[in-house]
Structure 1
Amino acid sequence: MTFVQLIDCKTSRFDEMDRLMDTWVEQTRGKRTATHAVVGKDRSDASHFIEIVEFPSYEEAMRNSNLPETDKIFRELVALCDEMPTFTDLDVVRDEKMYGATARRFYETVGTRGELPPLDDLFAENYHDHDPSNEQDVMGMDAIRREIEMWRGGFDITFTVEDQVCEDDRVCTRWTFNGTHKGEFMGLAATGRKVSMTGSTVFRFNEGGRIAEGWWQYDRLGLMAQLGALDALET
């Protein structure tokens, strides 16, 4: 079970504390077990700081605490505080990956049968799309809606999310596209062929939680081969 520790302290010497933590990070390289750390400053009290440190488990956190470097740094950290810091130990019982969930919802939305649902809760108005199959980047929600409608007009689409990695404001998804060629696509009349394609997409999210930018990589050549578009070139 993921474990989180909250370190609550007051200090007028934060710059020194910040340099001290940089020293600890360097000294424990390859040994520390913390996976993520965030430091926040109280907007109503400039001397009040809270550090949130995440570990894979409580046991890993204890291993981290027992490092000689951690004990030394802790004593120096206390000396920089205006008062004794407090520690809150938390077992994580719910962890919502909000951006990841929104990215998954995009793939589900594209595969929706019938009319394409509104995209307002998924995309920012000034969405910027980078797709190597397009000569120019797609800009704006209306443009990305037309792009999606083009694909939906050509295929009955189903996306399967194979892997997903979330980091800060970006989500990378590795997906598999399956569909039946039901309508005109890229100048090709419907063939009724079932096709499959793999690819990956990186989405950047804005502060409002909407998709603001996207980068696509997928096997377009393999898709066109499955549709028979390359047959004439091979003869």
Structure 2
Amino acid sequence: MTFVQLIDCRTSRFDEMNRLLDSWVEQTNGKRTATHATIGKDRADASHFVEIVEFPSYEEAMRNSGLPETERIAQEMVALCDAPPTFMDLDVVRDERLNAVVAREFFERAGRSGTAELFERFHEDYLDHDPANAEDLRLAGAREEYEGWRRAFVFSFRVDDQIAQDDRVCTRWAWAGKHTGDFVGIPATGQNVTMTGTTWHRFRDGRICEGWWEYDRAGLMEQLGVLGD
């Protein structure tokens, strides 16, 4: 289970504290077990800061705390605070990266949902980048392309991996389909085909506003008998 430490402090010397944290990152390179750190400043009190540090587990957090570099930096950090900081150890009981949830739902519904339903979480100014297309597509073009795939294949996606960072989600997927209709001039073959790929989605206000696609189109065409050995 993911574990986080929350440090609540007040300081009028944040620039010094920031440099101290940079020093800790440098000194513990290759040894620290923290995977993610976020510092927030209170809008109502410019001297009030909260740091959230994420670890894979409580045991890894304790191992990180036991590093001599961590202990030394912690003492120096306390000295920079206007009052003694408070520390909280928290087991994460719910963790939702909401943009990743939306991206996953897109792939899980693709092939089963109608066009309007599938694209309901897309912005009207959505821009689609696909090397198979001569030009980038706007939302209407992306919808039309999806309908073309559905006319040509009965298909589904399997999500194998996801990474979410800031406003972007990367999804590594596997696709499986049966060729039941015309596809770029190739009549239906009844062939079962597979393909793998990766898609980056960019989000704005909880909706997808841009997408970048990379997939094994050449492998798909070979399975359909278009490309020779």
Q: Percentage identity across aligned positions?
A: 62
SS in 2 for 1:118: helix
- Could you list the per-position Cα deviations for residues 79-128 of structure 1 after superposition, in whole angstroms to 9, with x for gaps in the alignment? 11111110111001111132222111111221216x33424542122212
For residue 168 of structure 1, report the CA deviation from its aligned partner.
2.6
Closer/same/farther in 2, CA of residues 175 and 22 from structure 1, 3 Å limit: same
Cα RMSD, aligned residues only: 1.6
In the alignment, what sits opposite 1:138?
Answer: 137
Q: Where does the alignment leave 5 or more consecutive residues of structure 1 unmatched?
A: none
Distance in structure 2 (CA, Å) of the matches to 1:209 and 1:182? 35
Distance in structure 2 (CA, Å) of the matches to 1:191 and 1:60? 54
Q: Where does the alignment leave 5 or more consecutive residues of structure 2 unmatched?
A: none
In the alignment, what sits opposite 1:200?
Answer: 198
Amino acid at match of 2:223: Q
Amino acid at match of 1:142: A
- Residues 1:73 and 2:73 are matched in the alignment: yes
Distance in structure 2 (CA, Å) of the matches to 1:128 and 1:109? 20
- Residues 1:27 and 2:21 are matched in the alignment: no
Matched-pair contact (CA < 8 Å) for 1:129–1:144: yes
In the alignment, what sits opposite 1:173?
Answer: 171
Superposition pairs of residues 219-230 of structure 1, within 5 angstroms? 219-230=216-227
SS in 1 for 2:83: coil
In the alignment, what sits opposite 1:189?
Answer: 187
Amino acid at match of 2:31: K
For residue 134 of structure 1, report the CA deviation from its aligned partner.
0.5
Matched-pair contact (CA < 8 Å) for 2:159–2:173: yes
Matched-pair contact (CA < 8 Å) for 2:12–2:47: yes
Deviates more, 1:208-217 or 1:40-49: 208-217
Amino acid at match of 1:12: S
- Residues 1:9 and 2:9 are matched in the alignment: yes
- Could you list the per-position Cα deviations for residues 50-92 of structure 1 after superposition, in whole angstroms to 9, with x for gaps in the alignment? 0000011111111111111111111111111111110111001
For residue 193 of structure 1, report the CA deviation from its aligned partner.
1.7
Amino acid at match of 2:16: E
Amino acid at match of 1:212: C
Distance in structure 1 (CA, Å) of the matches to 2:127 and 2:163? 21
Matched-pair contact (CA < 8 Å) for 1:163–1:173: yes
For residue 202 of structure 1, report the CA deviation from its aligned partner.
1.5
Deviates more, 1:217-226 or 1:45-54: 217-226
How many aligned positions are there? 229
In the alignment, what sits opposite 1:151?
Answer: 149
List structure 1 runs of 4+ shifted beyond 6 angstroms: none
Matched-pair contact (CA < 8 Å) for 1:109–1:116: no
Matched-pair contact (CA < 8 Å) for 2:119–2:143: no
Distance in structure 1 (CA, Å) of the matches to 2:176 and 2:57? 38
Amino acid at match of 1:72: R
SS in 1 for 2:115: coil
Amino acid at match of 2:145: E
For residue 167 of structure 1, report the CA deviation from its aligned partner.
2.5
- Could you list the per-position Cα deviations for residues 195-223 of structure 1 after superposition, in whole angstroms to 9, with x for gaps in the alignment? 111111111222x1211221111111111
Distance in structure 2 (CA, Å) of the matches to 1:67 and 1:227? 57
- Could you list the per-position Cα deviations for residues 111-159 of structure 1 after superposition, in whole angstroms to 9, with x for gaps in the alignment? 216x3342454212221211110011112x2221112111111111111
Superposition pairs of residues 29-108 of structure 1, within 5 angstroms? 29-108=29-108
Matched-pair contact (CA < 8 Å) for 1:34–1:64: yes
Distance in structure 2 (CA, Å) of the matches to 1:54 and 1:162? 24
